[in-house]
Structure 1
Amino acid sequence: MRGAVTDVQDLDAERAGVLVVGSITADVTTFSSRLPRPGETFLGDAFTLVLGGKGANQAVAAGRAGADAQMVGCVGDDLFRDLVREGLRDAGVDIRHVRVVPDQTGIAHIRVDASGENDIVMVPLANAHLDEAQIDRAFAELGPSTRVMLTQLEIPFQLTMHAIRRAHEAGLTVVLDPAPAHELPDEIWPLVDLVTPNETEATLLTGTDVDSRESAVAAGRWFVDRGVGAALITMAGAGSVLVDADGVSDHAPIRVEVVDTTAAGDAFAGFLAAALAAGLSRDEAIRRAGAAGALAVTKRGASPSLPTAAEVDALLASQLEPATESAREDA
C-alpha cells in the first residue's frame, strides 16, 4: 500500500493501533568501565535483569508513546515468564497474542562500557516457537483496528516475511526495522512502506559503505529503487536522512549525554510507529522518534530507558530549533 506512509489521514480514524510482531527476551545486562578482553575476567559496576527483545522493546515504546500497542510473540514457561509479561502490561501493551510455550524465555546478554557502547548475544529459545498460525490469528482479530505493523529480524525470517505479507494485504503501513541485519530477498522490498536501518544495517543490506550523509542517501535510494516506499537511514548523533521517490530530507539530531545506547533504536521505531498510527505527518513522526531515541541513551538498560510521551513532549519543547529540517532535495 504505497500511499500508507504519506497519506495516513485517509485511513479510517478507528484504525489507530500498532501491531508489533517480534522477539521477547529477558535482558541480562552488565555495566563496566570497559569490556573484557577474550579470556579475561573483569569486575563490573552494576547489573540489571529486565524485559527486552527488539519486538517487546518496540511494543513498550509504542505503548508509552500513547498508541494502542499489540504484541505478537512467545515466552517460555520458566521463571522469566511473569517478568516479561508484566513488563509489557505495565507499558499498556495488549498481550492477548503473546503465547506461553514449553521452553525457556529468550535471553539477551548485554555488556555496556563506560562510553555507553554495548555488545549483545541474543539466544532466541521461546521466540523460535512463533508460527504463522499465531500471526494469522492476531491479524484476524486485530487487523481491522490496526494502522501500522512494525516488525524486525530477531524472529525466524519466514515469519517476518509472513507478517509483512499479511500486513501489506490488509492495507496497513508496514514499518521494518531491519535488525539484526542479514541478507534479504528482493521480494520483501515492494511490501515495505518504511524501512529504518542504521548505518551498519544499511551498509550490510545495500553494499554501500554508509559513513556520511552522501553515502546514506545512496543507500536510501538503493531501497527505493527496489520498491520500498521510503528509507529512513538513522545515523545516531548525525540525525537521519529520509529518501523516497520525491527526494531527500534531513532530520537533525538532539544532542544529549550518552549513558547507554541499548534500545535507542527500539525507542525510535516504537515512537515512529505510534506517531504514524496517530495520523501525524511523516516529518513530525520522525521528529518525535528522534527525541525518543535521544532520551533512551540517557538512561541505563533496555526497557527502563524507553521514554513516555510526556518526556518526549518536554524534550521537544526545550529545543530552541526544530529537530526536523523541512528542506528537501529533488529525487
Structure 2
Amino acid sequence: MKKIIVIGSSNMDMVVKTSHLPAPGETILGGEFFMNQGGKGANQAVAVERLGGNLIFMAKLGNDILGQQSIEYFKKEGIDTRYIALDENSASGVALISVDDHAENSIVVASGANMLLDEQDVDKVVEEMCEGDILLMQLEIPLQTVEYAARKAFEKGVKVVLNPAPARNLPKALLRYLYMITPNRIEAEMLTGIKITNDVDAEDVAKEINAMGVQNVIVTLGSKGCLIRENGASYRVDAFKVEPVDTTAAGDTFNGALCVALAEGMELKQAAVMASKASSIAVTRMGAQSSIPRREEL
C-alpha cells in the first residue's frame, strides 16, 4: 500500500465543557474537564492509523511529562515513533479548548516544540518518500518547513495534500507543489478574498484556488458537506446527518480518511464520501483523538 506521510503538530488538549463560549473579559463556570491527545498533525496521523493507512508520522515534542505521555500513547496506537523527536529545551505543545452546548469550540494553542520542526528534520523522512505516496500537512508547524517538505515531496512524485489550518496566507510557490488543498469555509475565504454565502460562492472559491495552481480542491462546509473541484469540474458531496457533540478534530478525521481512501486507489468522490462518514462519527464524540473512529465503524 502507498505510504501516507504526515508531518505536523502534536499537542496535549485541555478541554472544558461550557454552556457558552466566554466573551472578552467574561469569566464563566465550566463543567467537565479532561485532557486528550491533540494537535492537527497527530489527529490526522491517528485517523490514518485507525482507518488502516500505511502511516509515517513526523512531529516534535518537548522532553517533558506531556511529551513522554504522547510517545507512550502513540506506541499504544501502533504508530511508529522513529520520526517523533523530543526537544530538551522546549515545552510540548498545548491547546486550551472550550466546547459549548452547541458543539462549537474556541481554541488557543501554545505551539512549543512544534515550531522547532525544521528542514533538517524533514530531510530525515525524505528518503521514505516514493512516487505515488501521499504527504499530508497542516499549518501548526513553521510555514517554511511546510513549503520545504512540499517541494521535496513534489520532486519525488509524491502527492502533497495540504489542510491549510489554522487559516493564514500562503506563498504562491507552495500552492504549485500541491496535489490537493482542503480548506474549510474560513480558510478558503482567506485564500481567495471571496465570501462564501451559497453554493455558487463555494464553487467560485474552488475555481480561484484551482487557478492558483492547485490540481484538486475540496472546500469543507461542515454540516453542508463539501464542494470538490477536480479536472475542471465541481460537484458536491453531502454530509451525513448526525447530532453533533464536539466538532474538534472533525476536519482532521476527514483529511486522514481522505488520504487513506486515495492511497487505496479510490476515486476522489468515493474518497470524500468515506471521509465524510468518518468525520460524521467523530463529531458525535467528545475530544480530538478520542473521537476518531476505526475502520470497522465505517
Normalising by structure 1, we get a TM-score of: 0.87
Q: Which residue of 2 aligns with 1:115?
A: 102
Q: Which residue of 1 aligns with 2:255?
A: 269
After superposing the two structures, state which structure 1 stretch, 255-264 or 181-190, moved more.
Answer: 181-190
Q: Which residue of 2 aligns with 1:100?
A: 86
Following superposition, the deviation at residue 172 of structure 1 comes to 0.9
Identity percentage of aligned residues:
37
Q: Which residue of 1 aligns with 2:40?
A: 54
SS of residue in 2 equivalent to 1:144: coil
SS of residue in 2 equivalent to 1:248: strand
2:114 aligned with 1:127, yes or no? Answer: yes
Following superposition, the deviation at residue 211 of structure 1 comes to 2.2
Q: Which residue of 1 aligns with 2:200?
A: 214
Following superposition, the deviation at residue 191 of structure 1 comes to 0.8
SS of residue in 2 equivalent to 1:85: helix
Q: Which residue of 2 aligns with 1:180?
A: 166
Which amino acid in 1 is paired with 2:92? Answer: T
1:205 to 185, 191, 210: 191
Deviations 1:88-117 (A, max 9, x none): 223332221000001210011111001000
Which amino acid in 2 is paired with 1:181? Answer: A
Question: For 1:87 and 1:216, how far apart are their aligned partners in 2?
Answer: 38
2:265 aligned with 1:279, yes or no? Answer: yes
Which amino acid in 1 is paired with 2:277? Answer: A
Question: For 2:187 and 2:77, how far apart are their aligned partners in 1?
Answer: 28
* Contact 2:189 2:205 survives alignment (8 Å): yes
SS of residue in 2 equivalent to 1:250: strand
Question: For 1:257 and 1:117, how far apart are their aligned partners in 2?
Answer: 13
Question: For 1:40 and 1:64, how far apart are their aligned partners in 2?
Answer: 39
2:242 aligned with 1:256, yes or no? Answer: yes
CA RMSD after TM alignment? 1.3
Which amino acid in 1 is paired with 2:101? Answer: A
Which amino acid in 2 is paired with 1:134? Answer: D
SS of residue in 2 equivalent to 1:266: helix
Question: For 1:114 and 1:177, how far apart are their aligned partners in 2?
Answer: 27
* Contact 2:217 2:229 survives alignment (8 Å): yes
Q: Which residue of 2 aligns with 1:291?
A: 277
Which amino acid in 1 is paired with 2:65? Answer: L
Question: For 2:131 and 2:292, how far apart are their aligned partners in 1?
Answer: 25
* Contact 1:72 1:97 survives alignment (8 Å): yes
Normalising by structure 2, we get a TM-score of: 0.97
Q: Which residue of 2 aligns with 1:316?
A: none
* Contact 1:30 1:47 survives alignment (8 Å): yes
Question: For 1:83 and 1:46, how far apart are their aligned partners in 2?
Answer: 22
Following superposition, the deviation at residue 133 of structure 1 comes to 1.1
2:13 aligned with 1:27, yes or no? Answer: yes
2:219 aligned with 1:233, yes or no? Answer: yes
Following superposition, the deviation at residue 146 of structure 1 comes to 6.9
1:147 to 105, 127, 133: 133
Q: Which runs of 5+ in 2 are unaligned?
A: none
SS of residue in 2 equivalent to 1:86: helix
Following superposition, the deviation at residue 145 of structure 1 comes to 8.4
Question: For 1:163 and 1:186, how far apart are their aligned partners in 2?
Answer: 15
Question: For 2:55 and 2:108, how far apart are their aligned partners in 1?
Answer: 27
Q: Which residue of 2 aligns with 1:73?
A: 59
Question: For 1:283 and 1:37, how far apart are their aligned partners in 2?
Answer: 40
Question: For 1:126 and 1:69, how far apart are their aligned partners in 2?
Answer: 22
Q: Which residue of 1 aligns with 2:295?
A: 309
Following superposition, the deviation at residue 227 of structure 1 comes to 1.1
Question: For 1:146 and 1:47, how far apart are their aligned partners in 2?
Answer: 42
Which amino acid in 1 is paired with 2:55? Answer: A
